Every structure is written in C-alpha cells, then in structure tokens.
Amino acid sequence: MPQAPLIATLVAGLGLAFILGTLANRLRLSPLVGYLVAGVLIGPFTPGFVADQALARQLAELGVILLMFGIGLHFSLNDLLSVRKIALPGAVGQMALVTMLGLLVTQAIGWPIGAGVVFGLALSVASTVVVLRALQEMRQLETDGGRIAVGWLVVEDLAMILALVLLPAFAGVLGGNVNGANLNGNDLFTLFEPQTIWSALGLTLGKLVAFFAIMVVVGRRVIPPILHYVAHTGSRELFRLAVLAIALGVAFGAAELFGVSFALGAFFAGMILAESQLSQRAAQETLPLRDAFAVLFFVSVGMLFNPMILVEQPLLVGVTFLIIVIGNATAASAIALMFGYPSHVALTLGLSLAQIGEFSFILAGLGVDLALLPEAGRDLVLAGAILSILVNPLLFAALDRLTPWLKARERTIATQEGKSEPPELAATSLTDHAVLVGHGRVGSLVAETLQKARQPYLVIEERQVIVEQLRARGVDVIAGNAAQPGLLEAANVASARWLISAIPNPFESGNLIEQAHAINPRLEIIARAHSDAEVDYLKKFGADLIIMGEREIARGISDHILSRIDAPAGPVADQSQNARQVDSKPMAG
C-alpha cells in the first residue's frame, strides 16, 4: 500500500471506474456495471493493487449523504406525509414477506433460525443509492411511484435502525453469541449495547422522535436563515461551503446523537431546506461532488464481492438473486395493488425495491459478528446485491417502454367495467383556454405564468394531493391521466387554444399528443424533452413546439447578450440583479 492510502484509493477507484464505466456505456450497458467491476478489480479477492476498504466505505458514505440531501431538496414534508398510508404498512409488510422467504430457504439447507432471520431481513432492504439514482435517470422521481418509493425507503431505514439495535439483544434467543459482537466498533447505526430489549427499543424510539422534533421545529428556524445570510455575502465559494457543512454536519450529528443513519439525517436536512428559496441553488452546488462520491459507493460495493462464490455456490446465489429481485418486486407491487394503486405505479415501486445495498451489508456483518449468520451467508448477500444492482437499470429501461402499454390496458379495463367516466370527468365550460397536463416542478411554473397573464387554463393531474390543493385555490382541474378515454373531451380540447404537456415521460407524452391532435387538428401543442432523440420522437406525433432545457438556457443567454451589445452598461447591472432574484425562486414540487 502506498504512503498515501486516501489518494491511492481515490485515484484507483475513480480512475478505473471512469475507464470501465466508459467501456460499459460503449457496450450499451449501464455505467454502474463498470463501477462495480472496478471495485472487484481493486478489491482483496483479485490479484494486483488492493485499495483501502475502510477508506472506500467512508468516501462512499459521503456520496450517500449528498445524494439523500439532494433528494430531500426536491421532496417536501407534505410529499412524505401524503404517502404514509401505503409506505408504512407496505414497507413493513414487504420486509416481513421477503424475510419469510429467506428463512424458508435457509431452513431447507439446514441453517438455524437465527441465520434465516438475519439472511431474510438482509434481502428485504433496498439500496437507497440505487433506487434514487434509477428514479432520477428515468425521470420517475416526481411520479406517484417515485414518491411512494422514497417514503417506502424512509420507513425501511427506520425499521433497519431498530433491527440493528435489537439484534444484539435477541442474539442469545436466536442462538447467537452476543459477546462475540463488536458492538462498540465503527458500525454507523449501532447506538449502544442494550441492557434489555425493551430499554433498547424505548431509547431508540425516543431518539428518533427527538430527532424529528428538532429537525422540524429548530431546523426550520436555523438552517434556512444561515443559507440566506451566506447568499447575501455574494460569495459562491462560501455558499457552496455552507451547503456542504449543513448536509454533512446534520447527517453526522444525527448519527452520533440520535442513532439515525447518515442517509436519513441528510434527507431530512434537505427536506427542511426545500422550503427555502435557495433550495435549487443548493442542489446545483452539491451536484458535482454528489455524483463523484456516488460512484465510489458502487466501487466500494464491488470491493466486498468475492467472485469465487459464483463457482462454489451457484445454486444458492441464483436463489438469493431471485428472492431479491422477484420476491421484493412481487411483494411491493402486490401491496400497492391491494391499496388501489394502478399497475404502472405498482410496477414502478416493485422494480425500485428489487435490489439491496448498504443496509444489507451492515446487517450481514453484524449477523456474522453475533455468530448468527455464517460467513457463507454474508457472501451470498453480497453476491445477490451485486447481481441485483447490475440488473436493476435494465428493469427500469424495460419499465419505461412498458408504462404506456400498462396505462392503455388500465383504460381499456376501466372502460369494459363501466368506470371510464368518474365524477371528476364533468366537462369544463372553458373555451379558448390552455390545457396543462402535469402540475409538477415545470407545470406549476407554467401555471403561474398563465395565471399572471389572466389566460384561462385547466390542469390535468394524477396526484390527488395536488388536485385537492388546486381546487382549494379555485383552479379548474381534472383528476386522472390525460390519456384515459373521455378525459381530453372533458377538458374541452376541441375548443382549446393550447395543450401543454409538462410531464417528463416522452412515451406517455407521445400518446397524449396523438390523441389531442386527432380531436383538434388546429390545437397548438407544446411539450418538454430532455434529449434530441426525445425531440424527434415527439415531433412524429405532431407537437408544434418542443422545449429542451439546455437549448432554452443557451438561447436565453444568447438573446440577452445580443440585446445588450449596443446598450449602455448601466441597466445591465439592474438586469443581473433581477436574474439573481429569479434564479433564487423555488421550483414547486
């Protein structure tokens, strides 16, 4: 090992991840494949250079903190509370079902009950990093499935905190050896060595309640004012430093003082800051570091993997993989369907949870220390995690293509059952109006512009929480999916002036545009896109204007420069000040 293990780990991890990630992208695979393979190559189970595993894990934890902080900046407390009715019972139910599957498998191969409980529980907890990264890349984070998945992850995090505290107390009952555990080591989530089961449970719940109370009450009065003060100094460097200090400081303090995971602490810090007008700027400032350290998370996972397990125990690896992917996906999807959610939302949730990660490694390690889980069990958990993380992006890519078909099938079934015209589909009396599909971050800003211009408009929105908020404000709104039969007619698209598709999914937008154009060929249709391929796709269906974010930013900057070339210098300063004020406005969720 070189004299500078931190630098060596960073250079080897990031450098090899870049090379193999680029190669994977060239082969039309997810870059995650390259990152994981990079970790295997610099891990202790392959010849050559071996990076410092302890340092790699700590660096990876920074990526988890920054990622969760960034997600919190786009996720309000209302969003979290809106999914509590399914996230709380759903997460607990899914974890229980998958734990039972793991227990049955271990009983079949002769492992004791304690090993089966730890093994099954480790297979039931999804990786926060993988889920959020996949939802962001597929632009599913703002959908119903994405919001439920985030709430589900929060519940799983809380459940695992309790499990990690209670497992040592139950070790003797389950046939383990509590004296063999390193309870005072570097485990990030172990609070203390409990004396009794009830005292451990009571103290853990008390710390969680105290943490939530402090974040909601004190956090709102401390964190936003600090950032606003720093922003007024005009120093971008100080602002970036303040954001990082808050994210890392709250995460570390939550873990040390309240026994909350780094990820959960950072998530709540971001969620509190989301109420500030500076939330979008804070998210942009943390993006480069977040992406770099998130890569190190996958490299650190690869370092834990012993490839020989694939040769020595191929059958058990296959069964473990199936429990993780099929078991978690089926359990979560079935629970969502039982709660009345449509199939495309249920499938999004199921695929989000069809992999495991950081919590599973910690739990498996604690199980080995307590003599509950054999070494082979930890190897199986790691092998299953690697394989499930590799497959997850492929599943999401398939889901992106499958979603329009699922929604069409749901509409067909609803029509056959006579449910195609619920009370919400009463026709609007508006004419010469704008029909706005989606009231998320983009749609809400468009609606604000239409409101200020006194242009009549109607919103089509799937999320019932948003629908109720809009109705309370007196906005014309129809609840449902814009492509369902009868909905565009109820929105009076035939007499509308514009159709504005503010939803992020290009496949869904394409179907919507095609239907609207058939109803009103004179309708001006505006849509959003994220790439040139999506622009071409939407043009084929008849969109008149397609807005791509990067192009519009460049066009706005260019137009401003051209308009100021021959203008006096004085007003520019005023316009720059106005630009800073506009940029600091919050993007509605």
For residue 437, the surrounding DSSP H or E stretch is strand 434-437
Domain identity same for 281 and 395: yes
Domain identity same for 492 and 374: no
Opening angle at CA 23, ends 299 and 39, nearest 5: 15
DSSP code at position 178:
G
Residue with tokens 């003082």: 257
Give the CATH number for residue 451. Answer: 3.40.50.720
Write down the pLDDT at residue 19: 94
What is the rounded CA–CA span in Å between residue 168 and residue 546?
A: 57
Instruction: Compute φ and ψ for 309, nearest 5 degrees.
Output: -65, -30
SS3 71: helix
Please check whether residue 168 is in contact with residue 193, taking contact to mean a CB–CB distance below 8 angstroms.
yes
Q: What is the separation, in whole angstroms, between the first and last Cα of the chain?
A: 48
Domain identity same for 131 and 272: yes
Q: Is residue 36 part of a domain?
A: yes
Please check whether residue 403 is in contact with residue 344, taking contact to mean a CB–CB distance below 8 angstroms.
yes
| Burial grade of 539 (CB within 10 A; 0-12, 13-18, 19 or more) | middle
What is the rounded CA–CA span in Å between residue 69 and residue 251?
A: 9
Sequence length of the chain is 589
What is the rounded CA–CA span in Å between residue 249 and residue 255?
A: 10
Instruction: Compute φ and ψ for 250, nearest 5 degrees.
Output: -65, -40
Write down the pLDDT at residue 183: 42
Domain identity same for 390 and 464: no
Please check whether residue 177 is in contact with residue 116, taking contact to mean a CB–CB distance below 8 angstroms.
no
Q: Is residue 453 part of a domain?
A: yes
Give the 3-state DSSP-derived string for 303-363, with helices as H, strands as E and coil as C.
HCCCCCHHHHCHHHHHHHHHHHHHHHHHHHHHHHHHCCCCHHHHHHHHHHCCCCCHHHHHH
Domain identity same for 263 and 387: yes
Q: What interhelical angle do 197-213 and 236-258 show, nearest 10? A: 160
Number of domains in the chain: 2
What is the rounded CA–CA span in Å between residue 232 and residue 145?
A: 38
> How many CA atoms, within 13 angstroms, populate the side-chain half-sphere of residue 61?
19
What is the rounded CA–CA span in Å between residue 536 and residue 508?
A: 15
H helical segments located in 53-143: 53-73, 77-82, 84-108, 113-122, 128-137
Write down the pLDDT at residue 413: 67
Task: Count Cβ neighbours within 10 Å for each residue of 560-583 and write b for 16 or more, e otherwise.
Answer: eeeeeeeeeeeeeeeeeeeeeeee
Please check whether residue 323 is in contact with residue 123, taking contact to mean a CB–CB distance below 8 angstroms.
yes
Q: Which residues pair with 545 in a beta bridge?
A: 526
Please check whether residue 343 is in contact with residue 405, taking contact to mean a CB–CB distance below 8 angstroms.
no
Residue-by-residue pLDDT tens, the chain, 589 positions: 455 788 888 888 889 999 998 998 888 777 878 888 898 899 888 888 888 878 877 887 787 787 778 777 766 666 677 778 888 899 999 999 999 999 999 999 999 898 999 999 999 998 877 787 777 776 666 677 778 888 888 888 778 877 876 777 777 777 666 554 444 444 433 434 444 566 666 777 777 788 878 877 777 788 888 888 888 887 888 888 888 888 888 888 887 887 777 777 887 788 777 766 677 677 777 777 777 777 887 788 788 778 888 888 899 999 999 999 999 999 999 998 898 888 878 888 888 889 887 778 878 888 888 888 888 888 898 889 888 888 888 887 787 777 777 776 766 665 565 544 444 456 788 888 889 988 877 888 888 888 888 889 998 887 777 888 888 888 888 887 776 667 888 888 888 888 888 887 766 777 788 888 888 888 888 888 877 777 877 888 778 888 887 777 777 788 778 877 766 555 444 444 444 333 433 333 3
Domain identity same for 494 and 356: no
Instruction: Compute φ and ψ for 258, nearest 5 degrees.
Output: -120, 0
What is the rounded CA–CA span in Å between residue 8 and residue 230?
A: 35
Domain identity same for 71 and 155: yes
| Residue 107 CA to its chain's centroid (Å) | 34
Q: Name the token pair of 343.
A: 């199939």
SS3 27: coil
Q: Walk across the sheet containing 477-479 and list its strands.
A: 477-479, 457-461, 434-437, 498-501, 524-529, 545-548
Q: Is residue 408 part of a domain?
A: no
Task: Count Cβ neighbours within 10 Å for each residue of 52-83 and write b for 16 or more, e otherwise.
Answer: bbebbbbbbbbbbbbbbbbbbbbbbbebbebb
Neighbours of 26 (CB within 10 A): 9
Domain identity same for 465 and 366: no
What is the rounded CA–CA span in Å between residue 322 and residue 566?
A: 67
Q: Is residue 572 part of a domain?
A: no
Opening angle at CA 479, ends 477 and 485, nearest 5: 110
Q: Is residue 578 part of a domain?
A: no
Q: Name the token pair of 113.
A: 């009950």
β-bridge pairing 434-437 and 477-479: unpaired
The single-letter code of the amino acid at 290 is R
Domain identity same for 392 and 437: no
Give the CATH number for residue 29. Answer: 1.20.1530.20
Domain identity same for 282 and 141: yes
Domain identity same for 71 and 213: yes
Please check whether residue 271 is in contact with residue 71, taking contact to mean a CB–CB distance below 8 angstroms.
no
Domain identity same for 249 and 305: yes
Q: Is residue 411 part of a domain?
A: no
DSSP labels, 474-511: T--EEES-TTSTTHHHHTTGGG-SEEEE--S-HHHHHH
What is the rounded CA–CA span in Å between residue 354 and residue 135?
A: 13
Q: Is residue 574 part of a domain?
A: no
Structural domain that includes position 354: 5-178+199-400
Q: Is residue 339 part of a domain?
A: yes
pTM here is 0.63
